[in-house]
Chain A
Amino acid sequence: MAQATRKKLVETEVDTALDARTAAQSHFRTLRLGTPFQPRIDALGLKQDWYSWAGYRAPHSLWDEELEYFAIRSQAALFDISPMTKYRIEGPDAEAYLDRVTLRDVTKLKPGRVHYTAWCDDEGFVLDDGTLFRLSPTRFRLCSQERHLPWLLDSAVGYEVSVEEETEAVAGLALQGPTSFAILRDAGFAGVERLKVFDLAEFAHDGATVTISRTGFTGDLGYELFVPADKALSLWDRLMAAGELRGIRAIGYTALNRARLEAGLIVANADFTTSEHAIRTDRLRMPDEIGLGFMIDPAKGHFNGRRAILEARAKKKLRHVLVGLEIEGNIPAEHAIVYYRKSQEVGLVSAAMWSPMAKRNIALASLKRPYGDTIVDDLWVEIYAMRELQYQKLMKKAKVVQRPFIKLDRRTANPPSDF
């Protein structure tokens, strides 16, 4: 009898393992996964305008990309950031390890704080940029566009630290816009008013914990929320209910992309090519070449790429520079070639738009030094504007300007205001 029961148990175990395997194999039937928020987003995706974000079905736009943008700037916009790659980095050596891997000084990043950083390969070329959340003295979350597990694991040799990819396990939301604080407060996240820019704190939600940070990709007042995947829908519903009277709207990437450009923020593999994806080696970029030189702290100890970066600085081997441009007129100069004296090709625009907030025609461009660095006059962009099957060619003057293109006081105001 006992033997029969044991045999049955073993069989059940085998069946369970087999079922798990079959379930894992079945991913080929769903080439674009849904995120934990997908049921809500599907219901709001009136345009069915999807793209693939790291293999997830993400909306370009849900109902109207213009109005979605204005939701960010006037009310509050909810944007699903779950597909962002997330690593959980934990252990007694986590701080020292991350200090070695990333550019910025992690010893200055206090628990409960977030910083924007980047990391390089040994040649000093940027592997990616991203945000580093210090959840506790020994626990971090690193968020990025691309995936880096082999790099992160190889770099961990000799450190007492564990690196685990947790993209699927953790759902993420960005709540951005002037009423975002009021919505969180109304949703019952007591104490959220104490969060200053780049602060984070944990709050109770639905029997679990949600990590809320005052961060974002819009240059506006805003927050990002991370929650276990199985609590994603209840968090969404909680925010939507609290935000109903404060104009909360879900948005897609097109609107967010406009806001980030106004904020002067760059996107990996849109404004620069990450080093593990650059097939053409002249596309590789050092931090100084994409405007991330400020992250480098030569005074801190060794970090990946340090020798190469400092040598390039010393020997003036930096070949490119990423700049903000203000272009005359109102026609967006997306992917336009940048010229010096209207004739010599010196660079390329990677992102461009008419900024509703700045009322200017703005762009990000990569230029070959010394253009954009020491020579900033007499720069032009050649815009090919397709209008009813004809290119209207425009040669427009471009001025190198400081980023961000817009600066909103409400982003940093303390305490944050209701709108």
Chain B
Amino acid sequence: MKAWDAIVIGGGHNGLVNACYLQRAGLDVLVLEKNEWVGGAATSRELTPGFLYSNCSYVCSLFRPEIMRDLELPRFGLQVISYEGGAVFTRDGDYLANYRDHDAHRREFARFSKRDAEGYDRYSRDVTRQCRFIQPLLMRTAPDPTSFRPRDIGELLYLGKKFAGLSAEEMALTLRFWTMSISDFLDEYFETDVIKANFALSGIIGTALGPMSPGTAYVLLHHYMGEVDGSVGAWGYARGGMGAVTKALAASFKASGGTIRTGAEVDHVLIRNGKAKGVVLADGEEIYGKLVISNADVKRTFLKLVEEKELPDIFLRRVRNFKIRGSSGKVNIALDSLPEFPALPKDSPVYRADMHFTDSIERMERAYDDWKAGRWSADPFLDMMIPTTLDPTMAPPGKHFMSCFVQYAPPKINGRDWTDADRDGFAESVISQIAQYSPGFRDRIVHMEVRTPREIEAEVGLTEGNIFQGELTFDQLLFNRPVPGYAQYRSPVGGLYMCGSSTHPGGGVMGAPGRNAAAEILRDLAKPTLHMSPAHDVI
């Protein structure tokens, strides 16, 4: 019976990144994907004829350019296109836009507050400083602070040196950034509700916390440290939808000789004498491998795919307590024409940007209150965009695909599972909010896909539908992600590794966990990593 060098469970972007690097290092790698298509949460699916849906993740910024280059993703069709800034519609019929042009941005903010308009530079400076501190850590394995291995000591020193290199003011800011709420943080820079709401959204996306919860300032940072071709903080569309990322990865993997099996759901990891020996599929088929790498989140991996008896108590307890809380859903819509927003001039660049309807921190927090009470938000927070205004490949000319990320949606409704009626009610809360700002919106809808945490977990496999495979709060970052002592992609089971977003540096279609995990695996195999670019310089 053939034994693969490595079996990757899950064909999401991190699983594929990991597989690509291992295959290119000379290993014989098999990727197993339960769905009939690869991509995990980075997919483009034709759910109605002529329309491609980025039906889970929908924008790209964090995906590391080093990985795109190493794995030759442009050659396999990946293109990321920057989009315009964005806007928040206000309830009085106006809007606040973010323009890419610095001075237009300032003039726009000055419509609401001259002070806030001029305060933006300081805000932007401080956020940029923090991003520059964190960015170099993304492509490095987090040190184990309890280990005395020279490498861990070296990495700790690196971290310490970086921290010591900060000025006293910056150190204070760093600690505040990692612990504050986004609402408190923004209060230090801005006075206007809508302007604060405009920035706060990056602090809550994908997180089961409200803008007033401590820890959300870091989440904002996480959304700012990406780039589109050197333009740090910029976001873009993957041409052809987010599936273009995983499609390119799959093609790159196959071109280097890798094997992908779809429709192959792993039931459990085969473990003998504390060592992973392969996997058993849902249909009972056994596949053997010297290494098993799980792209699934840490809960799914260790609570479903591995038998409890194989794991130490404390590890299990920590995995159980790891916070992966469902907080969001998705409504994906095919439109027969571009929606109109009377508040927005017809030639506004905002049509090619992200749009929001939550114009105050308080409304955001109230939406979170509904989550705490175990129901979807009556007045939800939407991150809405129409990628087809820039991407001609996703819908026929004149027709559009609209992606609505919706928050908050709890993993359970009042403690019970979601029903179809709940799902419809959730969708209605979204459509009625859009229709308030865009009369006639309902008539443009050709087809709609509604995904609550139930659908996301069932289809993609993300526990509770949490988009980051675990919340990005400071207690779950760096050497604590996902579990203290196991932050270096290894697990208590020999030969079983993790490579998903549950690991450092976290989610957001970054690819860094998959790449870093590959580096650790190759280190264990004493194989060179010459095909892996080091992290780009931050100068």
Stretch at the interface among B14-22, B99-107, B233-241: B99-107
Contact A28 B104 (CB under 8 A): yes
Residue from B116, B118, B166, B348 within 8 A of A165 (CB atoms): B118
Contact B349 A28 (CB under 8 A): yes
A148's nearest neighbour on chain B, judged by CB, is B118
Q: How large is the interface on A (under 10, 10 to 19, 20 to 34, 35 or more residues)?
A: 20 to 34
A32: chain B residues within 8 A (beta carbon)? 103
Closest Cβ of chain B to A130, distance in Å, is 15
Contact A278 B125 (CB under 8 A): yes
Closest Cβ of chain A to B355, distance in Å, is 15
Q: Is A147 close to B, CB under 8 A? A: yes
Contact A27 B108 (CB under 8 A): yes
Contact B101 A279 (CB under 8 A): no
Q: Is B111 close to A, CB under 8 A? A: yes
For window 85-135 of B, CB contacts with A under 8 Å fall at 94-95, 97, 99, 101-104, 106-108, 111, 114-119, 121-122, 125, 128-129, 132
Q: Is B345 close to A, CB under 8 A? A: yes
Given the interface contacts A25-B111, A277-B121, A281-B167, does A55 sit within 8 Å of B106 by beta carbon? Answer: yes
Contact B104 A27 (CB under 8 A): yes
Residue from B97, B101, B116, B347 within 8 A of A31 (CB atoms): B101
Cα of A325 to Cα of B351 in the assembled complex, Å: 53
For window 142-182 of A, CB contacts with B under 8 Å fall at 146-150, 153, 165
Given the interface contacts A25-B345, A28-B348, A279-B132, does A54 sit within 8 Å of B121 by beta carbon? Answer: no
Q: Is A123 close to B, CB under 8 A? A: yes
Q: Is A343 close to B, CB under 8 A? A: no
For window 168-207 of B, CB contacts with A under 8 Å fall at 169-170, 189
Q: Is A29 close to B, CB under 8 A? A: yes
Contact B108 A147 (CB under 8 A): no
Contact B118 A54 (CB under 8 A): no
B103: chain A residues within 8 A (beta carbon)? 31-32, 52, 54-55
Contact B122 A276 (CB under 8 A): yes
The interface bits of chain B over 122-160 (1 if a CB of A lies within 8 angstroms of the residue's CB, else 0) are 100100110010000000000000000000000000000
Closest Cβ of chain B to A115, distance in Å, is 24
Cα of A31 to Cα of B106 in the assembled complex, Å: 11
Contact A277 B125 (CB under 8 A): yes
Contact A276 B97 (CB under 8 A): no
For window 189-211 of A, CB contacts with B under 8 Å fall at none
Closest Cβ of chain A to B454, distance in Å, is 41
B347: chain A residues within 8 A (beta carbon)? 29
B349: chain A residues within 8 A (beta carbon)? 28
B350's nearest neighbour on chain A, judged by CB, is A28
Contact B125 A276 (CB under 8 A): yes
Closest Cβ of chain B to A403, distance in Å, is 29
Closest Cβ of chain A to B366, distance in Å, is 27
A123's nearest neighbour on chain B, judged by CB, is B169
A31: chain B residues within 8 A (beta carbon)? 101, 103-104
A276: chain B residues within 8 A (beta carbon)? 121-122, 125
A149: chain B residues within 8 A (beta carbon)? 114-115, 117-119
Contact A27 B107 (CB under 8 A): yes
**Residue among A52, A146, A150, A165 with most chain B CB within 10 A:** A150
Cα of A172 to Cα of B106 in the assembled complex, Å: 21
**Chain B count of residues within 8 A CB distance of the other chain:** 33
A281: chain B residues within 8 A (beta carbon)? 129, 166-167, 169-170
B122: chain A residues within 8 A (beta carbon)? 150, 276
**Residue among A29, A123, A149, A278 with most chain B CB within 10 A:** A149
Contact B118 A55 (CB under 8 A): no
Contact B107 A55 (CB under 8 A): yes
Contact B107 A21 (CB under 8 A): no
A153: chain B residues within 8 A (beta carbon)? 115
Q: Is A43 close to B, CB under 8 A? A: no
**Residue among B116, B119, B167, B347 with most chain A CB within 10 A:** B119
Contact A165 B114 (CB under 8 A): yes
Q: Is A26 close to B, CB under 8 A? A: yes
Cα of A31 to Cα of B121 in the assembled complex, Å: 18
Contact A28 B97 (CB under 8 A): yes
B84's nearest neighbour on chain A, judged by CB, is A28
Cα of A32 to Cα of B106 in the assembled complex, Å: 12
Closest Cβ of chain A to B106, distance in Å, is 7
Q: Is A270 close to B, CB under 8 A? A: no
Q: Is A24 close to B, CB under 8 A? A: yes
**Residue among B101, B189, B349 with most chain A CB within 10 A:** B101
B94: chain A residues within 8 A (beta carbon)? 21, 25
For window 345-364 of A, CB contacts with B under 8 Å fall at none
Closest Cβ of chain B to A84, distance in Å, is 14
Contact B104 A150 (CB under 8 A): no
A122's nearest neighbour on chain B, judged by CB, is B169
Closest Cβ of chain A to B119, distance in Å, is 4
Closest Cβ of chain B to A31, distance in Å, is 5
B191's nearest neighbour on chain A, judged by CB, is A150
Contact A24 B111 (CB under 8 A): yes
Cα of A27 to Cα of B348 in the assembled complex, Å: 11
Cα of A52 to Cα of B116 in the assembled complex, Å: 22
B95's nearest neighbour on chain A, judged by CB, is A25
A25: chain B residues within 8 A (beta carbon)? 94-95, 111, 345
A30's nearest neighbour on chain B, judged by CB, is B104
Contact B102 A55 (CB under 8 A): yes
Interface positions of B (Cβ within 8 A of A)? 94-95, 97, 99, 101-104, 106-108, 111, 114-119, 121-122, 125, 128-129, 132, 166-167, 169-170, 189, 345, 347-349
Starting from the known contacts A22-B345, A279-B132, 7 additional A-B residue pairs (CB-CB under 8 Å) come to: A25-B95, A27-B104, A28-B349, A31-B104, A55-B104, A276-B125, A279-B129
Interface positions of A (Cβ within 8 A of B)? 21-22, 24-29, 31-32, 52, 54-55, 123, 146-150, 153, 165, 276-279, 281
